[in-house]
Structure 1
Amino acid sequence: MASTVQVQLLVTAILCVSRRCLASSDTISASSAVSGGRTVVSRGGSFEVGFFRINASSSRNGSCYYVGIWYKKAVSPCTPVWIANRAAPVADRATSRLAIAADGNLVLINEADELVWSTNVSSTAAAGAGSNGTVAVILDTGNLVLRRKNDVDEVVLWQSMDHPTDTWLPGARLGLNKVTGEAQVLTAWKNSGDPAPGVFSLGIDPAGTSQYFIVWNRTVPYWASGEWNGDIFAGIPEMTSHYMYNFEFVSDANGSYFTYSLQDPAIISRLVVGVSGQITQLTWAPSADEWILIWTEPHRLCDVHAVCGAFAVCDEKSEPLCSCLAGFRAASPGDWDLGDHTKGCRRNTQLQCASTSTAAVTGDKDDDDFLLIPGVSPPKNPSFVRASGDRDCRSACLMDCSCNAYTYGDRCAMWHGDLLNLQRQTDEDAGAGNLYLRLSAMDVPSKSSKKTIALACAGAAAALVVALFAMAFVLVRMVRRRRSMRFAQALERGNLVAFRYSDVRRATKNFSEKLGGGSFGSVYKGKLPGAGGADAAVAVKKLEGLRSDMGDKQFRNEVRTIGTIHHVNLVRLRGFCSGRGGERLLVYDYMPNGSLDKALFGKSAAAAAVLSWGARYQIAVGAARGLLYLHLGCRDCIIHCDIKPENILLDGALVAKVADFGLAKLVGRDFSRVLTTVRGTIGYLAPEWISGVPVTAKADVYSFGMVLLEIVSGRRNARCSPGSGAGGARSEYFPLVAARKVLDGEVAGLLDERLDGEADMVELDRACRVACWCVQDEEANRPTMEQVVQALEGVIAVDVPPVPVSLKVFADDASYSYFSDECSQLKSSS
């Protein structure tokens, strides 16, 4: 009996210990510190807290450990969202510990038993708590909460979301506590390998307005959100199209803050202040196993203040983005390679600083001289001095030891101190005059030195010609490999790449694999080097029918504008090419599931699997969101002008991606003549295209309505059905059939027969009603894309639409070539 009791007690003790461990798996208490490889995980398994190291490939401090919070499930690799000791890493995680101290604070103690970090809860707030009554719990929101229980309730002493690092998670507040004066500010990492606070930060206006600023070095604001108007921030019109988010701005006597949440809790999203000074909203795509860029500000990297540091030039179309001026080199090469350009560039040779005008005129080699820097826009805020010409302006700058550059246009402009925000010019008219950079004479090539160098090079070339031939193959391989690496880095960072025609031709194997063609040209499959050595599939479009008045510079500027448009439901433009022979190419992400028309109407084996109703409905909603972003989310409204199933592509997870947006401007408005001659496209044109009245965004709404009917039915809107008797084949115009059945409440008969009735009837009725409203004759009677999205998402109710008159006319006109010719062929063959 005694032994039985002992066994029972032992089992009970084991169960108690197990339950206690299980219950405390998300908790740090006085008796359970985090050390070594031990971590704590939130109840739902979303987030994890523990020691981690920065990716060794991007960090020079591979032996440094940090305590932080990162995504536990779905996201890979380790993506930290909060770091406690971001500026003070520890060397040994086995002997370091994150624990509850005797005073109730959560602290980090390093291997030398020294305090590295603490929550710093005041003694008043923690009074009476002690280490036994205080615990730290990681929640499924990613918030690490320090709390203690008293006799009445639970008191929150500290939480990580009140002290963000570079990441803003849903549910967190970003603002200002007006009582304590404490502000929540996001601060970028120093570089990709060092999470220490960098120079870029995002926070609310300390002056008390409702707008947010991105600030350089805590002193220079270079981007503003605009003030809150009750729905969005005035400077971020993209917010109107992001229906996956719920936004809220609160301002009262206690404080002002902004917060956001997700309509679907299963979505993983975060906002990050990047090391390059841009803020980006990212969403995790499980199907692609990567983060998808939703939006970014500022749109252009070169608009970030001092993004390249001092004496460096920013060039959006090149890789790398930043390059040092002639006569300069990176001040900190290690940081520069990791994306931290804040230290800028330093001179190869220090200035002599001539003090007489005679030296300025003679340009003695032992003194300073000037080098013309072409194609670079001068910095802002110059100092102006009196000068009768370029020679006097040069002398004035040379005699001023703090003058580092000058230019002479209508007057003499000089720049003192560090040269910041230099940008490569995109227009011939950009800037004022030529920028002359001050250098040591040793770094400025003179005519005599050029002649000497030329003679020396000629002799050396004769001696090394054999060796050069031997090395040629190796050098070509190295250049190609380096160019491939630059392309891979640019594609990984999301920069728009200016490709050479030879590179695109090689990537597409001389345009051998054609994916298809359309109104704007033919599309070919290609492969470009991707991250980690793996090739990335791309789709290359050869543009045809471009405007005759469009020059190379204008083409590049227009393409760069298209390249700044990012949305989860728009095909991503990765780069472009403007060849010397007049070739114009666009490089897009490759969509493995092809276009919607192949999925709906294709006869191949790949199209044998019928799209389910759920997939179709999500494709319709996604395409609508993409169009809404083009209409309202961009700074200028973009009318697609050619919405049809062929221009809606599907990625690996069947997410809809609208393609060919923005190309109407490249081709010109007269390209509507092209559309009307392409088989099948005329069925999507709004009546105003044919009548010749000005076309608005409502033309896209009409086209979308036609596409939506095809998604429902799984067939082209106009088709022929075998008839009986003398009439033979008969014409059937599906939009008219659909409009009548919607009016009669018989939408079930409109569903694709291949689905065998398996569909959500509420969604089916909603989709059919929305489609019939979209194809109304008058623009005023059609909804906007914003209303279309809201209706498809079930946010607003949809009434029964009338039958458009034009559909009746279209169906009754037996001579209409779009379907009557096809029917006559069917009749003759039968």
Structure 2
Amino acid sequence: MNLGITLLGCLLFIFAPSIVSQTISLGSTLTPTGNLWVSPGNAFALGFYNLGQGIYSVGVFYHKQISTVVWTAGRNLTVTKDAILELGQDGNLVLYNSSSKAVTVWESKTSGQNVVGADMNDTGNFVLVNSSSQFVWQSFQYPTDTLVPGQQLMTGTNLSTVQADSSISTYTLTLETNGNLSLYWKNDLSYWGSDTSSAYSNLSVSGNSPKLGLSLDSNGRLQLVANSSVLANWLSSDYGPNPLRRLTLDADGNLRIYSWAAESGSWIVMWQAVENQCDVYGWCGSYGLCTYNIGAPICNCPAGFKPLDSQQPTKGCKFIDADIATCGGGSQVVSLNHTVLFAYESDNFLVSDNDEGCKSGCLKDPTCVAAIVPNDGAGKCRQKRSHFISGYQFPFLQATSYLKVCNLPTGPATPGVSECSPAPKSSKGSRIGIVIGTTCTFAVTILLEVCVWGFCCRRRITFRGPLSNYAVLDFASGAPIKFTYRELQSATKNFSNKLGEGGFGAVYKGTLLNKTTVAVKKLEGIQQGEKEFRMEVAIIGSTHHINLVHLVGFCSEGSHRLLVYDYMANLSLDRYLFSDSELTKPLLNWKTRFNIALGTARAIAYLHEECRDCIIHCDIKPENILLDEHLSAKVSDFGLAKLLKEGHGRTQTTVRGTRGYLAPEWLTDLPITTKSDVFSFGMVLLEIISGRRNYDPSMDSDKSKFPTWAFHQFEAGQIMSIVDERLHGELESNQLERAVQVSFWCIQDQASHRPSMSKVVQMLEGNILLGEPPMPKSFDEIHSRHVQQQPPTASGLSSFSVECF
């Protein structure tokens, strides 16, 4: 299921073509099969929409272009085809369950407030106005699950998920009085927040609380503002003018910015609050475990549990035999390896020497329903007392969790007796039943083997065990799939369709048995054995970010080491910046370039600071920035540098870097840190702006060392001379100047002078004021050493010390 589409955005809309005038007079009505109240520019409409099976709701939605609801009357209220919406003579807007008006389902409560009419505005705001043209009531003040540009979420209001089968909202976005913006599960547990309370408290003067507001503009900027001060700023990855945008709290509990893509005629996710969907509390329901399936989250049940609804796995699971809260035959604890169970902050921490201590402690405590051992070296065991269990399972997580379940029944009542054997009536009968059951089982097994053998022979299929079913079984596990070399050889037609070649090896296009298109990278120079290689693959596979290429699987067979990634339809960034082929058409405009730069920065910041293991990329360059079908940036080859290390030490590694992108510390035997990636990103950012390589010996001598020449142009105020002339003036000047300044801050020769990648993101977004970057003291010398010390090929091979991976 595409999480980029909201629940109500997928619904079938059935409307009559009739349209009323801009001003709705008192006494006007709407019915499910009647007209609509449409805004003057036909942008929005208010009316009934069909939920299916004769059920309707009333809401504001995009009228012509998009059938997407942005506001509903009463959030989750539904009515039948006999319902009626009326703007009464008393100025009250009322939804009745039938034309008889016997039961009021919802009302605006504006009777007696001098309402003279209503308007459906082109902003998406439905308003009731008085004789002075003032708004007596407006839908913007009562948001449901969506904000549109021009609408504000104020303190005391919230966004809540719209549920088709419940009047109780599960997830809520709340603007709190302490200045935080928080996502809550059932108004109880916060699983995401803006962490802006301290900044907000600093603005308070003499006990006066600044006025808070959250708004989305048409450029895709989401701002949390207190009076005139910006507390937090989030940008969509396609930052720039686009009036068709929305911020929606989706039914899966994630907050997302959507942009309308006219080319594809669909909404595209351009930002989301929770990068890893499995971190959304309770998304898989009670006892549900969230895993990943080819980059997308799915819900599974633990062993011994079954889904409450097999058609809707997010509803949760139940114990197959009995509920722990009601079982009377005692309890036991089952282990869930590689699993984290989320817990309330109030749940206890118990110090335990080992897993057994944690398990036994929970078993002895009658209030304990589950326990988690993070295995993070702290020696702590977290107990859960809530009967709502929400978890994240990934094959390479170190954590172990324990669930308390009812004791399984024993003796004659044990389920699972073969249907071939009669129910035991005596010990002799039991022995006869066992013999018959065993015979039946053996016979069935032989029959199945014969059938499988016959099928394989007829189809000429080689039976190789579970790996033959990777398209179903391994994909469902969410872990990187282990392929055989023959499988990848077949998928790539003997590696015949070469997409490109980089410092770590060649990449080929392939198609798996389930018709998934992938990119297969044949790694070169791998020094690690099977165990070490799989550990590094586990780290790569456990990273999930909207701007990182997803690792589908791997192959480690003999001397073969291959990685399988999602295929990116628009290939790599270098083909658009530097190539003169047809791939450069249409040209990447400034808006797209800036979004690519911002997405790349966010991905690197995630690798450095947000994922479990610090990952230094070591080879940031346009060839490793791939573009999906929407031209969004997807960073590839992250984590591969460590695969090329010699020995098992933490500080020594052999890395292939690329000429022109290596930070000075690579050449001076200084420690390699995350700031080395910052330098490489600065070079890439300069290339995105200019559309040319940072070193090109074919250019005039002044321009051959482009960063040096560009800095002098920047100092002289000639910033436009740096910009790719193919952009034809399609630029946003403030954004451009900011990007140029950021690039020069990133390529400072002293690592300590460079900002962190998280600061780079804030600088690009405009959340941090930039000073003038200084000219690196040894810039010319360092750049010359880059050129002189690198071989003529695209990659160099040297040994350096690394601070962390």
What's the TM-score once normalised by structure 2's chain length?
0.70
Distance in 1 (CA, whole Å) between partners of 2:240 and 2:102 is 41
C-alpha deviation, 1:813, in angstroms? 10
Would the aligned equivalents of 2:598 and 2:761 in 1 still touch at CA under 8 Å? yes
Quick one: which of 40, 45, 49 aligns to 2:46?
Answer: 49
Secondary structure, in 3 states, of the residue corresponding to 2:55?
coil
Structure 1 partner of 2:610? 635
Residue pairs, 1:78-477, within 5 angstroms: 78-84=67-73, 87-92=76-81, 95-111=82-98, 113-114=100-101, 120-122=107-109, 125-127=110-112, 129=114, 133-135=116-118, 137-145=119-127, 147-150=128-131, 153-176=132-155, 183-190=156-163, 194=165, 196-205=167-176, 208-230=177-199, 244-250=220-226, 264=240, 266-316=242-292, 321-331=298-308, 333=309, 336-341=310-315, 344-345=317-318, 347-348=320-321, 372-373=334-335, 375=337, 418=387, 420-421=389-390, 424=393, 426=395, 430-431=399-400, 437-441=406-410, 442=413, 454-462=438-446
C-alpha deviation, 1:687, in angstroms? 1.6
Structure 2 partner of 1:15? none
Residue pairs, 1:790-805, within 5 angstroms: 802=775, 805=778
Cα pair distance change 1:317/1:741, threshold 3 Å: closer
Would the aligned equivalents of 2:235 and 2:271 in 1 still touch at CA under 8 Å? no
Q: Which amino acid aligns with 1:272?
A: T
Residues 788-797 or 302-311, more deviating: 788-797
Distance in 1 (CA, whole Å) between partners of 2:265 and 2:583 is 23
Structure 2 partner of 1:70? 61
Would the aligned equivalents of 1:134 and 1:149 in 2 still touch at CA under 8 Å? yes
Would the aligned equivalents of 1:281 and 1:294 in 2 still touch at CA under 8 Å? yes
Residue pairs, 1:500-649, within 5 angstroms: 500-501=482-483, 508-509=492-493, 511-527=495-511, 537-543=517-523, 548=528, 551=532, 554-555=535-536, 557-563=538-544, 565-566=545-546, 570-573=547-550, 575-577=552-554, 583=561, 585-592=563-570, 594-602=571-579, 604-607=581-584, 609=585, 611=587, 615=589, 618-620=592-594, 622-624=596-598, 626-627=600-601, 630-631=604-605, 635=610, 639-649=616-626
Cα pair distance change 1:712/1:85, threshold 3 Å: closer
Secondary structure, in 3 states, of the residue corresponding to 1:627?
helix
Deviations 1:678-707 (A, max 9, x none): xxx222212222112234554344334433
User: 1 or 2, which has the higher helix percentage?
Assistant: 1
What's the TM-score once normalised by structure 1's chain length?
0.68
Q: Which amino acid aligns with 1:675?
A: R
Name stretches of at least 5 consecutive residues in structure 1 with no aligned partner: 1-20, 55-60, 177-182, 234-238, 356-366, 724-728, 822-830
Secondary structure, in 3 states, of the residue corresponding to 1:104?
coil
Would the aligned equivalents of 2:522 and 2:561 in 1 still touch at CA under 8 Å? yes
Would the aligned equivalents of 1:174 and 1:258 in 2 still touch at CA under 8 Å? no
Cα pair distance change 1:606/1:110, threshold 3 Å: same
Deviations 1:161-199 (A, max 9, x none): 3333333444444454xxxxxx42333244xx5474343
Q: Which amino acid aligns with 2:509?
A: K
Deviations 1:63-93 (A, max 9, x none): 3222222334554xx332322255443332x
Structure 1 partner of 2:11? none
Cα pair distance change 1:270/1:600, threshold 3 Å: closer
C-alpha deviation, 1:674, in angstroms? 3.5
Q: Which amino acid aligns with 1:733?
A: K
Would the aligned equivalents of 2:334 and 2:402 in 1 still touch at CA under 8 Å? no
Deviations 1:8-62 (A, max 9, x none): xxxxxxxxxxxxx9882475753353542533333444333322234xxxxxx54
Q: Which amino acid aligns with 2:114?
A: A
Quote the RMSD (CA, aligned, Å).
5.7
C-alpha deviation, 1:436, in angstroms? 6.0
Structure 2 partner of 1:733? 705
Distance in 2 (CA, whole Å) between partners of 1:467 and 1:560 is 37
Secondary structure, in 3 states, of the residue corresponding to 1:674?
strand
Q: Which amino acid aligns with 1:587?
A: Y
Name stretches of at least 5 consecutive residues in structure 2 with no aligned partner: 1-17, 203-214, 418-429, 795-805
Cα pair distance change 1:98/1:542, threshold 3 Å: farther
C-alpha deviation, 1:280, in angstroms? 3.6
Residue pairs, 1:604-753, within 5 angstroms: 604-607=581-584, 609=585, 611=587, 615=589, 618-620=592-594, 622-624=596-598, 626-627=600-601, 630-631=604-605, 635=610, 639-652=616-629, 654-661=631-638, 663-664=640-641, 673-676=654-657, 681-711=658-688, 714-721=691-698, 732-742=704-714
Deviations 1:326-355 (A, max 9, x none): 554333x2xx5235415x325446899997
Cα pair distance change 1:485/1:96, threshold 3 Å: farther
Structure 2 partner of 1:807? 780
Distance in 1 (CA, whole Å) between partners of 2:186 and 2:574 is 51
Would the aligned equivalents of 1:543 and 1:584 in 2 still touch at CA under 8 Å? yes
C-alpha deviation, 1:539, in angstroms? 3.4
Residues 629-638 or 300-309, more deviating: 629-638
Distance in 1 (CA, whole Å) between partners of 2:365 and 2:793 is 84
Would the aligned equivalents of 1:739 and 1:803 in 2 still touch at CA under 8 Å? no
Distance in 1 (CA, whole Å) between partners of 2:632 and 2:369 is 53
Cα pair distance change 1:690/1:766, threshold 3 Å: same
C-alpha deviation, 1:762, in angstroms? 6.5
Secondary structure, in 3 states, of the residue corresponding to 2:543?
helix
Distance in 1 (CA, whole Å) between partners of 2:550 and 2:265 is 20
Distance in 1 (CA, whole Å) between partners of 2:779 and 2:234 is 44
Q: Which amino acid aligns with 2:444?
A: A
Residues matched between the structures, number: 713
Distance in 2 (CA, whole Å) between partners of 1:650 and 1:322 is 29
C-alpha deviation, 1:248, in angstroms? 2.7
Secondary structure, in 3 states, of the residue corresponding to 1:321?
strand
Would the aligned equivalents of 1:406 and 1:415 in 2 still touch at CA under 8 Å? yes
Would the aligned equivalents of 1:664 and 1:671 in 2 still touch at CA under 8 Å? no
Would the aligned equivalents of 2:287 and 2:318 in 1 still touch at CA under 8 Å? yes
C-alpha deviation, 1:100, in angstroms? 0.7
Secondary structure, in 3 states, of the residue corresponding to 2:107?
coil
Structure 2 partner of 1:777? 749
Cα pair distance change 1:710/1:560, threshold 3 Å: closer
Would the aligned equivalents of 2:661 and 2:683 in 1 still touch at CA under 8 Å? yes
Distance in 2 (CA, whole Å) between partners of 1:587 and 1:595 is 14
Distance in 1 (CA, whole Å) between partners of 2:73 and 2:233 is 22
C-alpha deviation, 1:513, in angstroms? 2.2
Distance in 1 (CA, whole Å) between partners of 2:668 and 2:222 is 41
Cα pair distance change 1:268/1:499, threshold 3 Å: farther
